[in-house]
Structure formats: structure tokens, C-alpha cells
Amino acid sequence: MELKGAVALVTGGGSGIGRAVAEALAREGAIVTVMGRREKPLREAAGAIGGGYVVGDVGDEADAVRAVSTVVEQHGRLDILVNNAGYGLFKPLVETSLEEFQALYRTNVFGAFLMAREAAKQFIAQGSGELISIASTSSQKGSATRTAYGSSKFALRGMSECWRDELRRHNVRVMTVNPSEVMTDFAAKAGEERARSDKKLRPEEIADAIVGDLRVDQRGFIPEFSVFATNPY
């Protein structure tokens, strides 16, 4: 697709992968709005890319509706949704509380559903759209301490497959991205310390891959792909 002038909304866009994707899209000439719960990083990201921001929680239905409607009201359309908002929880099964599990699903699964639903309404109305969900390689293979996080990404992949089948007839491309380990603050916030390494992935690699997928002529698309570090050892 032609990214210059395309209207994009990136959730979790104030830092990490979300901010890198917003910056990459803006460099291509897209009109980008970032969404998240904390105003300060959103304001900084929006200032850096010359875009807009919406403060809101993707897991709150009213916020999800407001975010999409705000973009459409401001720009007349929505061409790209990047469903990036999410967080991790890495704990043994026997130490994971129901409250923690439900809270993570509220963002990683229900939030992604709400944003996709609202974007899909606009996509169907205009007869086109790009719906990109940031899952994880944890969605492809279960592992210890990943009951909450891994299963949420399995759920996101499953929803994306349903959306893909449902929305293709409306000229909407649904794409799933599975990053491997990316050097952000994500793991530390999830309770797992990881050594920094220049050999591991940066958010920019994920952003570049997404831009590459979007550039494919709209008669086709790459429905799902994973991004691994070449030699992280």
C-alpha cells in the first residue's frame, strides 16, 4: 500500500515496539496517532513524529470506542490499526493469582478485541484497512512461567485468524507479527531480568518488518511472520 498520507493508530505507542512502529510509519509519510494510558510518553512520542495522541486504556470499552472515533473525526478515515498494547507476566502457575490473570487478559486479549472491533467497523464502511496485531513467539510454543502471557498471545493469534477470514471480503488485510526477544523494558516489568545485548532485537527491527509487510501491493499480503535475532548468543 501507499503509506504516504495513510491514517494510522498505534496502541501502546508511547514506548518500545509501539513507538518504533509509530516513528517508522511517520517516516513513510503516514499520519500517526499513538494511544496509551500514560500521557507524558504519548505526548513525547507524538511530538517526535509530528502526530497526535489519545490517552486511554484499550481494555476499557469506552476508551477503545473514543480512540477510533477520535482519529476518524480528525482525519476522515482510518487506514491502519497496530494492535500493540500489552504487557507480560512471567510467574509459575501455582503463584499466579486469578486477579493477575484477568488483568493481563483485559489488556492483551479483550483490549485487542475491542480495538479491532472498532477499527473493523470503519474498515468495512470504507472498504479497506490494515489490521496488524503484535503477538509473540510465545504464541507458538508454550513454556514454563508463561501461563498468563503465552496463552494471551495464543488467543490473539486465534482471534487474528478469525478476523482474517471474516474481513478479507471487505479488502481488509489482517496480519500477525511474532517478535522474539526484543531489548525493551518489557521483560523487567514482567518480572524477568534479561541481560542487555547488542546482538538481540531492537524495536526498530520489528517496525521495519511491519513497514515491509504494509508495502506489499494490496492484492496480496503476508498474513503472519516471526522476527528472530540472527545470532543472539
For the chain, list the domains and their CATH numbers. Answer: 7-216 (3.40.50.720)
pLDDT mean over 60-69: 98
pLDDT recorded at residue 176: 98
Q: Mean pLDDT score of the chain, rounded to an integer?
A: 95
Confidence of residue 33 (pLDDT cuts 50, 70, 90): very high
Confidence of residue 210 (pLDDT cuts 50, 70, 90): very high
> Strands (DSSP E) along 4-58, which ranges?
7-11, 31-36, 52-55
| Residues pairing with 175 in the sheet | 132
Nearest Cα neighbor of 210 from 20, 67, 55 is 20
Answer whether residue 191 shows pLDDT above 80: no
Confidence of residue 194 (pLDDT cuts 50, 70, 90): low
Phi and psi, residue 29, nearest 5°:
95, 5
Is residue 129 helix, strand or coil? strand
Active-site annotation holder among 53, 105, 149, 233: 149
Q: What is the dihedral of CA 167, 153, 184, 180, to 10 degrees?
A: -90
**Lowest-pLDDT range, 17-21, 113-117, 193-197, 225-229?**
193-197
Phi and psi, residue 68, nearest 5°:
-70, -45
Phi and psi, residue 228, nearest 5°:
-115, 150
Answer whether residue 190 shows pLDDT above 60: no
pLDDT recorded at residue 195: 73
Nearest Cα neighbor of 74 from 9, 15, 19, 3 is 9
The pLDDT tens digits of the residues spanning 70-102 come to: 999 999 999 999 999 999 999 999 999 999 999
Confidence of residue 120 (pLDDT cuts 50, 70, 90): very high
Answer whether residue 38 shows pLDDT above 60: yes
Percent of the chain with pLDDT over 70: 95
149 carries an active-site annotation: yes
